[in-house]
Amino acid sequence: MQNQKYHFCQSYFQYCRNKTAPVKVGNVTIGGDSPIRVQSMTTTNTLDTAATVEQSLKIARAGGELVRITTQGRREALNLKSIKESLTRLGCEVPLVADVHFNPSAADIAAQLIEKVRINPGNFTGGAKKFRHIEAGSEEDREGLEQIRQKLIPFLRQCKKHFTAIRIGVNHGSLSDRIMSKYGDTPEGMVESCMEYLRICREENFNDVVLSIKSSNTRVMVHTVRLLVHRMGEENMSYPIHLGVTEAGSGEDGRLKSAVGIGALLIDGIGDTLRVSLTEPPENEIPVAKSLVHYISKKANHPPVAETNPQHYSPCSYVKRQTHQVETIGGENVVAVAADIRNVPPELLQFHTLPEVIICHSNQINHLPENLHNTRLVVEHQSNKFGHKPGTIPLFKIDEEWHHFDGPVFVELTYPDLNSHNANRLRSKKDTVLLLKSNNINSTAEQRAFFMTMQNLGLSHPVIIHGYYEDKNLKDFQLKAAADKGLLFLDGYGDGLCLSTPNITTSQAIQTSFGILQASRVRFTKTEFISCPGCGRTLFDLQKTAEKIQKKTSHLKGLKIAIMGCIVNGIGEMADADYGYVGAGPGRISLFRNRELIKKSIPEEQAVNELIKLIKSYGDWVDPIE
């Protein structure tokens, strides 16, 4: 059973990769029956052959199957030949991808020398954005489309002649003035920007095309890729998809954001190749990408999930499931974080940050912090032999007599438990919070089906999404939890998140929950950094600068700060950012507030302090707590 309005995957309830056409990129095939390919991008100056070759080797040795290289102009495009020849002499046959912006002639040269060229519809023909309004259907609009044809068709013919593949890569931050005038900065505009190019490719019978639509906002990225796949289906297209969250940042935050956005699409079978964009050395991206692909691929052949009618599902726009409030959960409350410590050994019980809910056995209460004024204590009913202590809430299993209890209750259940008998019990007891668990290896599909069924039954009880992980490695746990649960919050489901693990400290599980909610755009509890990975266009030390800015501003809860290497996507990708720090030239930085240029071409050594002054001048600064 499928919602035909937005048909973007084969099933909402069974993991199955979308069928796409195979595209050859040198000795690698993307799409078709091929495995999901992982790749990265060099951060070196493309004219520095030795440095670019060295970094390409590091990427390939880490398991990268394609290497992308920034190609600003004709000189950089011509030097791709030397880079390719050097790699071949060293026995490295990894396909190279030229990353071209603003310069169709550089794309034409690259198409003759290496295996693939990435072009951006937002700046391939129109140059830098001028932020002009262009009336839909006007002569200027028609001329803009004709200009695309005049520059794209010769490029495609060059690619066909040299068996060169292309990637049409749309970025949220670099839509053309034509598209912005018609659609605004929207998923519909991003998709149409891509489709204009695809239709010309089909007219030219050029099929070696890979597509990407990226954003630093995971919600925008996921909804837009789904819409693109749907639109392609309407026009009988099946090009392979490249996945990525742009400007994801570094460290834990960058990995969580990437796992949420990329994982949400992989779980629905979308994605033939991917890049995890981190503000770190590019070879660091590969293990994260490979781990994500490996984890999602294990969901194949999972136990069946009973299908339900997805009539209320909104996959291409955010619509939050409406719930009623019980205690401090649901309704208009922020999405809560819960800690289930029932399986946690005493030595791992740490509470550097308190969650809204702690779930425990009665004999664990004495191990908890004393200051729990804002935390609801939920005690497992079976373990409470001496009655419930004042201020605690009982937790029942679904088959117990919870519906006769006087007062609010928590009830743990799975999707198969949502039968007519239990639905009637829920109707009779409104002050019930559900703790939704899953034993299915595709817990995401099963829990999504639960929410769809709740909506179909007209049940508005708040639900805390539960996940149990036995990983001993913190990064593995975080990657899996973010991939599994992020999709549900992106789709408007869930009033809380509870991650249970017997091998990770409670404090780390709580912090991971907060991180996933922030990456999923439903709750902001710390500074949001939109930080690009850097490339050959970056003219300052992006990694060190990002670390410096994060160290000085990470206490500014809810503020969004963009740290961008250059202006190619910088201004546009700051759509969500309150403040922007953008490379303007060698040793020069420009500062933005809400996309507006405030200070231009500041010396790099002064720029971080000037950024702080700017934040203070608009009243967004608070001093850190010592």
Do 438 and 576 fall into the same domain? no
Beta bridge partners of 464: 435, 496
Kindly state whether residues 376 and 457 are assigned to the same domain: yes
Per cent of the chain over pLDDT 90 is: 75
Residue 538 structure tokens? 């970056």
Do residues 70 and 51 lie in contact, with contact meaning Cβ atoms separated by under 8 Å? no
Alpha-carbon dihedral angle through residues 497, 329, 261, 354, given to the nearest 10 degrees: -50
What per-residue confidence (pLDDT) applies to 474? 97
Cα 341 from Cα 79, distance rounded (Å): 57
**Residue 114 confidence (pLDDT) above 90:** yes
Same domain, 488 and 546: no
- What is the structure's pLDDT at 571? 60
For position 131, what pLDDT does the model report? Answer: 65
Cα–Cα distance measured from residue 42 to residue 94, given in angstroms and rounded to the nearest whole number: 13
**Annotation-wise, does 16 bind a ligand?**
no
Per the domain annotation, does 214 fall within a domain? yes
362 and 510 housed in the same domain: yes
**Is residue 386's pLDDT more than 80?**
no
In a domain, 424, yes or no: yes
How many beta carbons lie within 10 A of that of residue 132, not counting itself?
10
Q: Is residue 268 part of a domain?
A: no
Structure tokens that stand for 69 in this block: 């290289």
Grade residue 206 by pLDDT with cuts at 50, 70 and 90: very high
48-62, 398-412, 475-489, 559-573, range with the lowest pLDDT: 559-573
117 CB-side CA count, 13 A: 31
Domain boundary among 204, 224, 240: 240
Average of per-residue pLDDT across 230-256: 90
Beta bridge partners of 75: none
CA distance 330 to 347: 32
- pLDDT for 124-164, tens place per residue? 886 556 667 888 888 888 888 999 999 999 999 999 999 99
| Residue after which a domain boundary falls, among 500, 519, 538 | 519
Q: What CATH code is carried by the domain that includes residue 417?
A: 3.20.20.20
pLDDT of residue 3: 46
Q: What is the pLDDT of residues 291-337, one digit of tens each?
A: 999 999 999 999 999 999 999 999 999 999 999 999 999 999 999 99
- Per-residue pLDDT, 202: 97
Range of the domain at 430: 336-519
How large is the angle between the packed helices 474-490 and 251-267, nearest 10 degrees? 50
Q: Is the pLDDT of residue 569 over 60?
A: no
How confident is residue 387, by pLDDT bands cut at 50, 70 and 90?
A: low
Burial 254-285 (b: 16+ CB within 10 A, else e): bbbbbbbbbbbbbbbbbbbbbbbbbbbbbbbb
Q: At what angle do helices 506-519 and 251-267 cross, to 10 degrees?
A: 60
Mean pLDDT of 165-191: 89
255, 236 contact by CB (below 8 A) = no
Confidence of residue 2 (pLDDT cuts 50, 70, 90): very low
Asked whether residue 392 is assigned to any structural domain, the reply reads: yes
Residue ranges in 404-473 assigned as alpha helix (H): 420-428, 443-457
**Contact by Cβ (8 Å): 614, 598:** yes
**597 and 553 in one domain?**
yes
* Structure tokens belonging to residue 609: 């302090």
Question: What domain count does the chain have?
Answer: 3
Beta bridge partners of 259: none
Domain match, 500 and 551 both: no
535 is in an annotated binding site: yes
Among residues 196, 225, 240, which one ends one of the domains? 240
Check whether residue 578 and residue 431 sit in a common domain. Answer: no
Is residue 605 very low, low, confident or very high in pLDDT (cuts 50, 70, 90)?
A: very high
Question: Cα 449 vs. chain centroid, distance in angstroms?
Answer: 22
Residue 503 shares a structural domain with residue 534? no
CA angle 325, 328, 333 (to 5 degrees): 70
Cα–Cα distance, 15 to 100 (Å, whole number)? 35
CATH number at residue 603: 3.30.413.10
**Same domain flag for 404 and 532:** no
Angle at 567 between CA 175 and CA 82, to 5 degrees: 100
Q: Are residues 410 and 541 in the same domain?
A: no
Question: Is pLDDT at 411 greater than 90 in this prediction?
Answer: yes
Residue 216 has pLDDT above 60, yes or no: yes
**What is the DSSP code (8-state) at residue 523?**
-
Cα 196 from Cα 214, distance rounded (Å): 17
Same domain, 367 and 510: yes
Whether 433 is in a domain gets the answer yes
- Pairing mode, strands 28-30 and 23-25: antiparallel
Q: What is the pLDDT of residue 205?
A: 97
1 pLDDT higher than 60: no
Burial class for 377, CB neighbours closer than 10 Å (0-12, 13-18, 19+): middle
Q: For residue 575, what is the DSSP state?
A: G
What whole-number distance in Å separates Cα of residue 444 and Cα of residue 13?
9
- DSSP letters spanning 350-386: --SS--SEEEE-GGGGGGS-S--TTSEEEEEGGG-TT
Query: What's the rounded Cα separation, in Å, for the pair 555 and 326?
Result: 31
Q: Which residue has the tokens 């030229």?
A: 98
pLDDT band at 208 (very low <50, low <70, confident <90, very high): very high
* pLDDT at 367 (0 to 100): 85
> Burial level of 142, CB count in 10 A (0-12/13-18/19+)?
exposed
Determine the Cα–Cα distance for residues 120 and 141; give it in Å rounded to an integer: 18
**Quick one: pLDDT band at residue 570, thresholds 50, 70, 90?**
low
The answer to whether position 362 is within a domain reads yes
Give the rounded percent of residues in the chain with a pLDDT score beyond 70. 94
Look at residue 549 and tell me if it is in a domain: yes
Clarify whether residues 67 and 176 are in a common domain.
yes
pLDDT tops 60 at residue 254 = yes
Task: List the single range of 216-225, 490-499, 583-592, 602-611 with lowest mean pLDDT.
Answer: 583-592
SS (H, E, C) 457-479: HCCCCCEEEEEECCCCCHHHHHH
Q: Is 9 annotated as a binding residue?
A: no
At residue 134, the pLDDT reads 83
Asked whether residue 111 is assigned to any structural domain, the reply reads yes
Question: What is the C-alpha to C-alpha distance for residues 104 and 70, in angstroms, rounded to an integer?
Answer: 14
Which is higher by pLDDT, 232 or 249? 232
Q: What integer pLDDT is reported at residue 251 of this predicted model?
A: 80
